[in-house]
Chains A and B, each alone.
Chain A
Amino acid sequence: MNQPSKLRFPLRSALEEIPSRDAVLRVQGRLFERAGELHTKRSRLIRTFLLSTAAAALVVGTLLLGAVWSPFDSTGRRTEAGALLTEDGSEFKRLQSESAPASVRLADGSVLRAAPGTRVVGLGSTATEFVVLLERGAVDIWVTPGGPRRFRIEAKWARIEVVGTEFRVTRKEHGAEVFVREGRVLVYSPTLKDGVAALGPGEHLEVGENAPSPPLGFSAPQESGPFAEPTLVLPPPLHDDSNAGPVSAFRVESKGPAPPMPSSISQNAFVIATETFATLRDQADRARVARDHARAESLYREILARFPHDPRLGSVRYALALACLEQPGGAARAREALLSLLLARPAKSLEEDTLVRLIELEASLGLPAESARHRQLYLEKFPTGRHRARLDLP
């Protein structure tokens, strides 16, 4: 079975010596940069002192914070840290109106005004969030812009989030309707295609189990004239604070056609979007391992489109480039992905790998000028880079 072999024990005698000198010197430089700190009592003392100081500062800071912030409000009741209270200093619990409108003004100037037959229940208030549940009826909300809290209104089939704007939420039998007067509002609902829709001034949206179709909450496209001004149905603004501006109340049902539907909402809105960055990334990576590179590429592109501000996009772009490279005719797309990754200023190690891939790819694509330019860039940025030998750099 075995052919005559030239292998002789030990094999090392048949191998050339590895030139270790440069590598050993480089590692020595890195290793002994801070060698003076190794095993010296002084460094240990300094480290101990710094750690003790940091711990003491933490304790003092915590005590000071405790002294400044009291967990009790003016009436002696316990409140959440930085909770948003009503104008009279009490906790917002409920806003209910039967035959006449009712309103409440919060300490930061925001106003909630309930139409007749409405009940709004406070769910929670912290330094960063103010949450209410619209149990029935309709509520107009004017949120003071620039505040630190996100306002969240829970209604059937919908969650509305906002930082500073004016809008109305109406609870319906099978859902809820949102109408925006100023600013932008995010509406979350499992009945929306992507799970979320952004509404601008003048736009409204109805979400729910049996929301009107087509499309949800919107009437015909804007062909028969401009969006008509909604009819005022509630009494004049309850607050006369001219700085805050009047809180106008508007009917949700307008006389004319509604504005066109935002592009993010499709005609078939009853699709629940549950994929997160991690799940999509996992699917894409699994597709790559299974060598289904076309699917992997489409999943990576979906991640890029859906999470454009995620800090992990660098590795996604890199993986996208590799998935493109694996497909026939995908080299140009791979180059595009690598170039966009470079523009996004990735971490050093990723940037180095990206440059190496780009140099090799451009050389294979017959782009010697671009390849040379990136080779020069690599030399400038990574003069002692790991891939110098691979690139035949001096």
Chain B
Amino acid sequence: MLPLVLSAAVATVVPFPRRQPNAGLPDEDARDSLLQPLCPPNDRDLVEQALAGRTSALSTLYERHAPRIHGRIARLLGRASDAEDVLHETFIEAFRDLSKLREPDRFGAWLERIAVHRTHRRFRYRRLLERLGFESTARDLSLEALALRGDPELGLELRRVDEALSRLPAELHIAWKLRAIEGLELSEVAERCGCSLATAKRRIERAQRVVRNTVGVAFPEPLS
């Protein structure tokens, strides 16, 4: 008896939600988002919705991928302000060229490829500015700064690695970091860098050789 009374009271106080036109919902996007199923949509669905003109899909795509992309860019570039700029450029380019994406369910990988390309461009731009003295060489997110606290020896090694990498061409630098730091497979490195597998291997090997010879430290594991 008591459960029946309680459920009746709850039903009186909290009315059953009914769909009414424009009943307190701000706009179409918000209404659509409320009506979406609880199971999160995959990237393919989101891309299709975005192409159909739904802004909320773009926003969801951004929220899903931006933190990972930002972390990756920041580790590649070593500077927070640059990473933020590149993140912005990456998503502008991605959303602008969304209709050119052939495999919507591989949106994440496509996005990373754009990010790596933008990072490469930023490296070259930064080198030019540094050469002219308009850019500081300081990195607030250098590998040393990111090393886990309490291990000064590792920090020292990472600083020497960073110094060696900073003298390398951008494409070698990026390929090595994608492999050695991010832990991507060789085929993934090749795809992100937009080059062949052999070229990716060669770049990583060259960078690894410089790190080993110049700094005197190396991974025990083979990278390429």
Q: A: which residues have CB within 8 A of B?
A: 1-3, 5-12, 14-18, 20-21, 23-24, 26-28, 30-32, 35-36, 38-41, 285, 288-289, 318-319, 322, 353, 386-387, 389-390
Q: A2-B217, A7-B217, A7-B218 are in contact. Are A20 and B95 (CB under 8 A)?
A: no
Does A11 lie within 8 Å of B180, measured CB to CB?
yes
B92 part of interface (Cβ distance < 8 Å): yes
Contact status A38-B147, CB under 8 Å: no
Looking at the complex, which one of A11, A20, A39, A390 makes contact with B50 (CB distance below 8 Å)?
A39
Nearest CB on A from B33, distance (A): 14
A35 and B58 form a contact (CB under 8 A): yes
A6-B151, A31-B62 as given contacts; A12 in contact with B75, CB under 8 Å: yes
Tally A-B pairs: CB < 8 A. Answer: 140
Select one of A1, A17, A28, A322 contacting B62, CB under 8 A: A28
A31-B138 Cα distance, complex, nearest whole Å: 28
**B121 interface residue per 8 A CB criterion:** no
The yes or no answer to B131 lying at the interface (CB within 8 A) is: yes
- Would you call B218 and A5 a contact (CB within 8 A)? yes
Q: Which residues of A contact B25 (CB under 8 A)?
A: none
Partner of B148, one of A15, A27, A322: A15
Decide yes or no: A15 and B183 within 8 Å by CB, A2-B218, A27-B88, A322-B133 being known contacts: no
Extra pairs beyond A5-B157, A5-B219, A28-B59 (12, CB < 8 Å): A2-B218, A9-B183, A9-B220, A11-B158, A15-B181, A18-B141, A18-B146, A23-B70, A28-B66, A31-B62, A35-B59, A39-B53
Most buried by B among A5, A285, A386: A5
Complex formed: what's the CA distance from A285 to B216 in Å?
36
Q: Are A12 and B70 in contact (CB under 8 A)?
A: no
With A15-B75, A20-B67, A39-B50: A10-B183 Cβ-Cβ less than 8 Å: yes
Using an 8 Å CB-CB cutoff, how does the interface string of B45-86 with A read, 1 for contact, 0 for none?
A: 000001101010011001100110011001100001101100
Enumerate chain B residues within 8 angstroms of A386, measured Cβ to Cβ: 81
Docked Cα-Cα span, A130 to B135, in Å, equals: 48
Task: Tell me if B's interface is mostly helix, strand, loop or mixed.
Answer: helix
Contact, CB under 8 Å: A20 / B74: yes
Cβ of B123 under 8 Å from chain A: no
**In this complex, what residue of B is CB-closest to A21?**
B67
B154 within 8 Å of A by Cβ?
yes
CA A35 to CA B98, docked complex, whole Å: 14
Q: Which of B70, B88, B153, B217 contacts A20 (CB 8 A)?
A: B70
A31: nearest chain-B partner, CB-CB: B91
Q: Measured between C-beta atoms, what is the minimum distance from A290 to chain B in Å?
A: 12
Shortest B21–chain A CB gap in Å is 21
Q: Write out the residue numbers on chain A whose beta carbons fall within 8 Å of the beta carbon of B51.
A: 39
- Whether, in the assembled complex, B34 has its beta carbon less than 8 Å from a beta carbon of chain A, the answer is no
Question: Are B81 and A10 touching (Cβ within 8 A)?
Answer: no
Contacts of A38 in B (CB 8 A): 55, 58, 95
Q: A7-B218, A18-B74 are in contact. Are A289 and B88 (CB under 8 A)?
A: no
Q: Which residue of B lies closest to A10 (CB)?
A: B183
A10 lies within 8 A of B182 (CB): yes
Provide the bound-state CA to CA distance between A146 and B223, in Å.
Answer: 76
Find out whether the CB atom of B71 lies under 8 angstroms from the CB atom of A17: yes
Quick check: A27 and B66 within 8 Å, CB to CB?
yes
Instruction: Decide: B154 and A10 in contact? CB cutoff 8 A.
Output: no
Q: Is B35 an interface residue (CB 8 A)?
A: no
